[in-house]
């Protein structure tokens, strides 16, 4: 498709509707960031998504946009419940890949002398890496319970407290999960991966609050300068990956019967009101719940590890969950489209929800300030805490960016890192890192990603989410 890109203002670019496109494409970006976007296929993917049946509003992309499977990563699209579709490629392989941020009563100066020991302790306690398994081995009945109950299952088993649940998107349980639609392969892959971090861009990071931008919202979130925080980035592991793979294959095999043409076979989809569409959403909800339970358990083990390593009790550590958000999901939500309030299915792939102050889906503790939005940086650079703004509901179906966004493929990053010691380079900056292999560090080196500060500035200026605090890494564990 011949892509014509028009700049609307300092933060927004449009791909005008043409050919089979049903709506315009709308990209949130800057003059600097759009340069990288033009070098891959992600703009074509924005236009391709705009051709799908039932799409409403715009085919959207956040400033961390880059090429993905079917949909671009950083893509957002909403579909009419009667005439629209659901696409596994619009959710992604790692269903409910997301972030969880915890605050503590620790100050950075207290733990800096023992940071290397803390990272070693976490690396020993938290299972990481491709195909990693943990000490939990679920029976089929238990795995079914996890898939339906989500984070509540973990809390009921003693991993955390009931108060944690109100600080998780959807209270950590997505409705509509039905384990009966899952393949035996998916169930098998999920049996012993609960409580594992995974590999790639997943991490557990000890950070310090480096800068406050909005004092009122920071106080509401429990953040202050110099404070130690912990950020966990993980998802549904092999369980979610297999669910995505199963339904992509099934839908792709049936697309020849569809009454519409696909510009890309990776956009395989099903009508939302079809049996296939309903089964996918039920399976996706199982994976989303698994991911929330996974991060709940990881948080609990992190707290136990820090208590042991620092020889302090839970009260002295004072770890509290600030919020947990998901990045890869499709949700039935109520939005205003062309002046009418309607229920649509919002796909967020490499994008996160950003609800504004007063939104009824927000927990009471954050109702006045807006939803905490967690934006992890690439390894070795800043992460950000934002708060959802009114503009997100008006422009992006309540969505914003989810991270920095890659500019180099993993293969190119590995090639560029040849002969370098990424581990040593980070340690020279005061950041201690442990990973299962050197390849992961090369694939995830800072140069492989966009400047997260520029990405965050775009969503701040576009009024999708406002800056609250900046977090600087002190130590990281990776797969």
Residues 456-478 have pLDDT tens digits of 999 999 999 999 999 999 999 99
- Residue 237 is assigned to a structural domain of this protein: yes
Dump strand ranges (E) for 71-163.
Answer: 73-80, 85-86, 98-107
- Residue 134 is assigned to a structural domain of this protein: yes
Q: What H or E segment, with its residue span, contains residue 399?
A: strand 399-401
Residue 146 token pair: 């996890």
pLDDT reported for residue 2: 75
Q: Dihedral sign, CA of 325, 328, 329, 333?
A: positive
Weakest-pLDDT range from 273-282, 370-379, 435-444: 435-444
Percent of the residues in the chain that have a pLDDT greater than 70, as a whole number: 100
Q: How are beta strands 85-86 and 25-28 bridged, if at all?
A: unpaired
Q: Taking residues 97-103, what's their average pLDDT? A: 98
Three-state secondary-structure class, residue 384: strand
Q: How many domains does the chain divide into?
A: 1
Q: How are beta strands 98-107 and 227-234 bridged, if at all?
A: antiparallel
- Residue 144 is assigned to a structural domain of this protein: yes
Domain that holds residue 104: 6-478
- Residue 265 is assigned to a structural domain of this protein: yes
- Active site includes 300? no
Residue 320 CA to residue 334 CA, distance in Å, equals: 30
Burial of 431 (0-12, 13-18, 19+ CB in 10 A): buried
- Residue 1 is assigned to a structural domain of this protein: no
Q: Taking residues 18-23, what's their average pLDDT? A: 97
- Residue 409 is assigned to a structural domain of this protein: yes
| Reported confidence tier of residue 320, pLDDT bands at 50, 70, 90 | very high
- Residue 50 is assigned to a structural domain of this protein: yes
Residues 6+ apart with CB under 8 A from 62: 28, 74, 75, 76, 350, 351, 396, 399, 400, 401, 402, 455, 459
54-70 pLDDT, tens digit per residue, is 999 999 999 999 999 99
- Residue 171 is assigned to a structural domain of this protein: yes
| Reported confidence tier of residue 442, pLDDT bands at 50, 70, 90 | confident
Residues 6+ apart with CB under 8 A from 28: 11, 12, 13, 60, 61, 62, 63, 396, 401, 458, 459, 462, 464
pLDDT reported for residue 123: 95
Residue 14 CA to residue 265 CA, distance in Å, equals: 24
* Residue 460 belongs to domain with CATH number: 3.90.1860.10
Closest CA to 342 of 101, 124, 54: 54
Residue 188 CA to residue 363 CA, distance in Å, equals: 35
pLDDT reported for residue 1: 62
Residue 153 token pair: 């299952």
**Selected catalytic residue, list 233, 347, 402, 460:** 402
- Residue 321 pLDDT exceeds 80: yes
């Amino acid at each position: 498709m011949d892509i014509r890109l028009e700049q609307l203002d300092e933060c927004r670019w449009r791909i005008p509707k043409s050919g089979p496109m049903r709506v315009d494409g709308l990209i949130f970006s800057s003059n600097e960031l759009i340069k990288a976007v033009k070098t891959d296929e992600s703009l074509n993917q924005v236009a391709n998504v705009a051709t799908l049946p039932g799409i409403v509003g715009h085919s959207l992309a956040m400033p961390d946009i880059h090429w993905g499977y079917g949909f671009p990563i950083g893509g957002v699209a909403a579909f009419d419940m009667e005439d629209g579709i659901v696409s596994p490629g619009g959710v992604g392989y790692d269903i409910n890949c997301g972030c969880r941020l915890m605050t503590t009563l620790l100050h950075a100066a207290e733990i800096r002398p023992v940071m290397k020991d803390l990272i070693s302790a976490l690396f020993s306690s938290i299972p990481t890496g491709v195909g990693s398994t943990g000490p939990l081995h679920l029976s089929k009945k238990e795995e079914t319970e996890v898939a339906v109950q989500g984070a509540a299952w973990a809390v009921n088993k003693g991993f955390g407290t009931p108060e944690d649940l109100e600080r998780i998107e959807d209270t950590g349980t997505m409705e509509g999960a039905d384990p009966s639609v899952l393949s035996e392969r998916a169930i098998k892959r999920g049996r012993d991966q609960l409580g594992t971090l995974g590999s790639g861009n997943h991490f557990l990071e000890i950070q310090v609050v480096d800068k406050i931008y909005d004092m009122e919202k920071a106080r509401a979130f429990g953040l202050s300068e110099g404070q130690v925080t912990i950020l966990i980035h993980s998802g549904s592991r092999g369980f979610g990956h297999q669910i995505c793979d199963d339904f992509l294959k099934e839908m792709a095999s049936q697309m020849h019967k569809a009454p519409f043409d696909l510009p890309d076979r990776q956009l395989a989809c099903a009508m939302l009101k079809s049996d296939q569409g309903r089964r996918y959403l039920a399976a996706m909800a199982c994976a989303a719940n698994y991911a929330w339970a996974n991060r709940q358990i990881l948080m609990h083990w992190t707290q136990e590890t820090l208590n042991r390593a620092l020889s302090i009790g839970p009260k002295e550590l004072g770890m509290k969950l600030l919020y947990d958000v998901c990045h890869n999901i499709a949700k039935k939500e109520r939005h205003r489209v062309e002046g009418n309030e309607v229920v649509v299915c919002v796909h967020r792939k490499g994008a996160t929800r950003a609800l504004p102050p007063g939104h009824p889906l927000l927990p009471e503790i954050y109702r006045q300030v807006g939803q905490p939005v967690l934006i992890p940086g690439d390894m070795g650079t800043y992460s950000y805490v934002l708060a959802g703004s009114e503009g997100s509901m008006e422009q992006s179906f309540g969505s914003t960016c989810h991270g920095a966004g890659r500019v180099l493929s993993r293969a190119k990053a590995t090639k560029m890192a040849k002969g370098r010691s990424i581990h040593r380079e980070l340690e020279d900056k005061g950041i201690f890192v442990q990973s299962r292999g050197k390849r992961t560090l090369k694939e995830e080196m800072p140069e492989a990603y966009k400047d997260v500060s520029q990405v965050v500035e775009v969503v701040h200026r576009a009024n999708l989410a406002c800056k609250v605090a900046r977090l600087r890494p002190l130590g990281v564990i990776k797969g």
